[in-house]
Amino acid sequence: MSVHDVEIVMIGAGPSNLALAVALEECGSPELAAGALVIEQYDDVKWQRNLLLPWARSQVSYVKDLVTLRNPRSRFSFLNFLHERGELDEFVNLSTFNPYRWQLSAYQQWVADSLEHVQVRYGARAGDILPIFAEDATVLGFAVSLANGDTVIGRDLVIGAGRDASVPDVFAGLPAERVVHSSQYGGRVAAVNRLAQPGRPLRPVVVGGAQSAAEMFMALHQDAPGSSPAMFMRSIGLKDYQTSKFVNALFFPSFVDEFFAMSEPTRARVLEEMRLTNYAGLAAPFLDELYTMVYRQKMLGQPVSAIRGLTDVVGARLEAAPGGGEEVVLEVLDLRCERVEEVRCDAVFLGTGYDLRMPAMVRRLTEAMRLPEVTVNRNYRVDLGAGARGGLYLQGVNEATHGISDSLISVLAHRSADIVGDVLQRRADSETAGAGVEAAAARARLAVPA
């Protein structure tokens, strides 16, 4: 076990913190960049790790990579990634702005490997996070405990690990091996497939009506051979994202300033109107693929995979199967006639999105700091009170104050510039005031004061 002192601790090597790492590399302060550490629980970088399906594409232009909109000349651009790998000509020949998801994932690993100053530590799962207080109870920094017993101490903490998966309460009574959230799909589908009874294929049910649910529905036709998945959703049917070039202007980084300046009721109204631009919808080309697949099944007389709208799962239990073993029994409400029927299956795959609350990691930390609420300023820094020398920055969870694009990759480059600018300004102000974090003192103040 050891203690490591750094300037900035970043939790999660996803696009948000990788974009921030690039901004630190390019900020003109190699000392600050060298004092930054990204900790990643896995042994590599994967974007949407468990939905890296070979045919899945990004819905966002490659120009909105980790850096281009902030610095088009950067060596960390997606186009330079393709150039260095000798793949640029072939990509250009695709005539698309939308790369495959696995391609963007490989790009992000390449960025992590290309960093010269910022360090990335793999296989480092964050456990407890505690604030470090001065004698006057102001925040000096943060101590992050790792699963291997090490502790990382930093003046600034950036949490960019994403939101927590949302699992509806109706499925809480099912065994964990029978329920798969979309964030787990790739790592668990093979094991779930073995739950099928001998002599027949898996009987999967997908719950949800948005992109992740539809991608699992499509993938199960390959990953569970011979199965005919069913897909249940409360909405009337699958819909495409409600976008236009006029609406897409609200994803511009410049719109963040406008949104932040709005009143809270206006922000809420705008978010509600923007919901169908990113949630509860699918990319139009993928909708066509799904419809064509089901059409082909019908016309060729094959078992038809069911896509049922106006359908709600209101109960779920595990019981003995007639032929031996166990099976999941779903109580399914037909919203058109309010009739409940039982549907028997082997496993449930949830495309039910993510919890809109602050992630549990953030809630635990803010409770330790006794913050009555999480208030984030324009530069994504949590208000820790007057005199705080440590800074807590949140990435990807600030839709309520910064707009719907905050959870997407559209604003990564500019958001990173905002955060780095704030970090540099705080350090300049701190040096003027003669303040700073002393590592020895920090070690002695790991506990929350009474």
Question: How many domains does the structure of the chain reveal?
Answer: 2
119 touches 7 (CB < 8 A): no
Please report the sign of the dihedral spanned by the C-alpha atoms of residue 58, residue 59, residue 60, residue 66: negative
Same domain, 206 and 335: yes
Q: What Å distances lie between residue 119 and 9, 111, 116, 224, 360, CA to CA? A: 10, 12, 8, 40, 26
| Alpha carbon distance 176, 174 (integer Å) | 6
Same domain, 29 and 160: yes
Same domain, 160 and 192: no
Same domain, 63 and 201: no
Q: Final residue of a domain: which of 306, 323, 350?
A: 350
Q: Is residue 258 part of a domain?
A: no
Same domain, 379 and 233: no
Q: Is residue 271 part of a domain?
A: no
Give the amino acid at 119.
Answer: Q
pLDDT of residue 433: 60
**Residues of the chain falling short of pLDDT 50:** 434-450
345 touches 328 (CB < 8 A): yes
Q: Strands 3-11 and 151-159: what pairing?
A: parallel
Same domain, 90 and 18: yes
Q: Angle, to 10 degrees, between the axis of helix 15-25 and the axis of helix 101-114?
A: 40
pLDDT of residue 443: 39
Q: Is residue 448 part of a domain?
A: no
By CB atoms closer than 10 A (0-12, 13-18, 19+), residue 4 is: middle
Q: Final residue of a domain: which of 350, 373, 406?
A: 350
Same domain, 363 and 301: no
75 touches 110 (CB < 8 A): no
Same domain, 395 and 359: yes
Same domain, 214 and 233: yes
Which residues are CB-neighbours of 270 under 8 A, at least 6 positions away? 250, 259, 262, 403
Q: Is residue 41 part of a domain?
A: yes
How many CA within 13 A on the CB side of residue 70? 27
Same domain, 58 and 99: yes
Q: Final residue of a domain: which of 330, 350, 370?
A: 350
Q: Is residue 184 part of a domain?
A: yes
Per DSSP, the three-state class of 312 is: strand
Closest by CA to 60, choosing from 222, 228, 243, is 243
Which residues are CB-neighbours of 6 under 8 A, at least 6 positions away? 35, 36, 37, 152, 153, 154
User: In degrees to the nearest 10, what's the CA dihedral of 18, 48, 126, 26?
Assistant: 0
Q: Is residue 270 part of a domain?
A: no
Same domain, 22 and 156: yes
**How big is the chain, counted in residues?**
450
Q: Is residue 249 part of a domain?
A: no
| Alpha carbon distance 409, 21 (integer Å) | 15
Structural domain that includes position 293: 169-241+279-350
Same domain, 345 and 359: no
CATH number, domain of 235, equals 3.50.50.60
Per DSSP, 444 falls in state: T
| Model confidence, pTM | 0.93
C-alpha distance across the termini of the chain, in Å: 27
Please report the sign of the dihedral spanned by the C-alpha atoms of residue 176, residue 190, residue 124, residue 27: negative
Q: Is residue 273 part of a domain?
A: no
